Structure 1
Amino acid sequence: MPPLPTAPLPGFSPRVVCYFQTYHDNGEYISLLPLVTNPSGITHVILSAIHVNWDPNNLTLNDDTPDDPKYTQLWDEAMVLQDSGIKVMCMLGGAAKGSFARLDYSESRTDVPLARFEAYYVPLRNFIRAHNLDGIDLDVEEEMSLPGVVHLIDRLKADFGRDFIVTLAPVATALMAGRPHLSGFDYRLLEAARGRSIAWYNAQFYNGWGGLQNTAAYDEVMRNGWPAEKVVAGMLTNPRHGGSGYVPLELTAAVLSVLVERYPNFGGVMGWEYWSSFPQVEHSWIWSFCMTLCMGMRKR
């Protein structure tokens, strides 16, 4: 049985979050502007993926420097989205390992000097400042210590302030009791230590880490004591996006309607990724519009 629902939070509504990693299709840039010019209902766009590489000065967005001319239109459109009230964030890490190993520092570690952390962190900080991003999503898919991720979160909040959004992207099993996951640290301990600094968790309910074909996996997370407003249910927007676990929209709609009713503070949905989203791959904004309908949200 799922836990008893809590009272609705005043003014809270589910988030509609979409990652954006495939920026070009056959050499043509994929525009984000349809999210603004149509009633998409999107609340947050997360640009993927930033990598901290072996050379501290070689920060990359996917395989290229963020200032490569191929991204000029992206940064121009990011400002348009922000002017329209949509938050634009970046994702750090993901499947390509190394970023968090290089940023894993704590005062208790004698093998990693603070200067090493600074060398890798400062280019990331400067990138966020240069593009005026609203937040960062930490997708830790490699071993990292709990003191290390706490130190990174503390530094981000110190540098960018209270309103800067910090989220994490664990696989869904990381939020369940005693289940394997990818990050190395205990998310319950992280929430206890720095929950006030973490806006929410973009939990990946796909690729074998928990599914959304029914409510069972999300219910299990709730039984482990997580507040529903901090758990965003992540899904694939197309079966070709990143492995297994795609759930057809018709079934997603039914599952989301139950979750919204069962958990009045349901945190929302996350989609991987914007490009080529169903139900109409040539009009990817429709995915987020469908999500707002599934959750009974007001349209933009």
Structure 2
Amino acid sequence: MERRRALTGLGAVLTASAIVGFALSPAAQATDSAPRAEAESPRVLAYYQTQYQDDSYVSPLPLKGVATDVEVAAFHLNDDGSIHLNDEPPSDPRFDQVWKDVAELQESGTKVHALLGGAAQGTYQNLAEDFEKYYQPLHDTVEKYGLDGVDLDIEETFSLENTKKLIDRLRTDFGEDFHVILTPVASDLAGSSNFSGGFDYAQLEREAGDKISFYTGQFYCGWGDLGDTTSYDNVIDNGFSPSRVVAGALTNPANCQGYVEPDELAATLGSLKDRHQGFGGVAGWEYFNAVPVNGDGPDSWYAHVRQAAGG
């Protein structure tokens, strides 16, 4: 079975057209007043989708003490009502070590989330057509493996109302401490595109922001740029609090267009930290092939950006 990739960084490169402009969308109101699941600021988030490289297991444990959040990717809700982690059920024996390592990360204080959806189509269409049928295996998987949150990576049409319905259900079922995250392309957060579902994210923040833990914007693949602060500034100018927005970057030039060299990225992160009080942090797509920085493993990339962001 063909391996299915999760993020727009690998799925939308064919459709992105360098949409990084500023849009004057209405500002979200009072987004910091309601209770949310908060962690140390800034966040350092690692995407963990490639669990095996050439049949060799890739352990996430070097991220202990480096990443505040790790996302196991990508979960898909299939037409037959089953759930897969990439190409296999999450209960497949190949993931036994993954779940052991996930539990160890959690014991060390790292939050571990499930990334739902991504470039492979169908998950959100299925939820729209029969919510209860397709939501249940997601719920059961989160519960079974004791995950700390779900990241909604919507890369197909999914209405604002359906998005709010899913957020409401996750919040109701798992409580206030559970992380409900969204990972739209950066230009959607800036109000200049509507790729990630087809709705206005500033409106989502106004209407349901009290139930959303934070956003991780995809600042690459033509949807944003972290060579300087402009793309992130545009998101903040669209009404989002800096504490609510994590800047998603590429860890390797092979992952998509828009890779920023670590030292240049560090300079941008430092500027964002100084420019925006409460800056939300940085995410790296993805862990297994992150370019080492003054270290001998991919975790060194995350340590480098953590220091630059003020962690």
Q: TM-score, normalised by structure 2?
A: 0.85
Contact 1:12/1:265 (<8 A) preserved: no
Partner of 2:142: 128
Partner of 2:19: none
1:182, distance to aligned residue in structure 2 (A): 3.0
1:12, distance to aligned residue in structure 2 (A): 5.4
Does 2:117 match 1:93? yes
Partner of 1:63: 87
Partner of 2:193: 179
Structural mapping, 1:30-49, within 5 Å:
30-36=58-64, 40-49=65-74
Does 2:277 match 1:253? no
Name which one, 1 or 2, has greater alpha-carbon Rg. Answer: 1
1:197, distance to aligned residue in structure 2 (A): 0.7
Q: How large is the RMSD of aligned CA atoms in angstroms?
A: 1.9
Q: Deviations over 1:20-57 (max 9, x none)?
A: 00010110110111122xxx52100000000001001x
Structural mapping, 1:199-238, within 5 Å:
199-238=213-252
Percent sequence identity over aligned pairs: 44
CA distance in 2, matches of 1:247, 1:158: 39
Q: Give the 3-state SS of the residue equivalent to 1:150 in structure 2.
A: helix
Structural mapping, 1:1-300, within 5 Å:
13-36=41-64, 40-56=65-81, 58-104=82-128, 112=129, 116-241=130-255, 243-279=256-292, 283-297=297-311
In the superposition, relative to structure 1, how do residues 134 and 11 fare at CA in structure 2: closer, same or farther (>3 Å)?
Answer: closer
Q: TM-score, normalised by structure 1?
A: 0.88
Q: Give the 3-state SS of the residue equivalent to 2:258 in structure 1.
A: coil
Q: Give the 3-state SS of the residue equivalent to 1:60 in structure 2.
A: strand
CA distance in 1, matches of 2:308, 2:192: 31
Partner of 2:4: none
CA distance in 1, matches of 2:289, 2:120: 22
Q: Give the 3-state SS of the residue equivalent to 1:103 in structure 2.
A: helix
1:11, distance to aligned residue in structure 2 (A): 8.9
Contact 2:202/2:239 (<8 A) preserved: no
Partner of 1:5: none
Q: Give the 3-state SS of the residue equivalent to 2:260 in structure 1.
A: coil
- Equivalent residue letter for 1:183: G
Structure 2: stretches of 5+ with no match in the other structure: 1-21, 23-32
Q: Give the 3-state SS of the residue equivalent to 1:277 in structure 2.
A: coil
Task: Report runs of 4+ in structure 1 exceeding 4 Å deviation.
Answer: 9-12
Contact 1:249/1:279 (<8 A) preserved: no
Structure 1: stretches of 5+ with no match in the other structure: 2-8, 105-111
CA distance in 1, matches of 2:97, 2:110: 17
Q: How many residues align?
A: 276
1:282, distance to aligned residue in structure 2 (A): 5.2
- Equivalent residue letter for 1:77: D
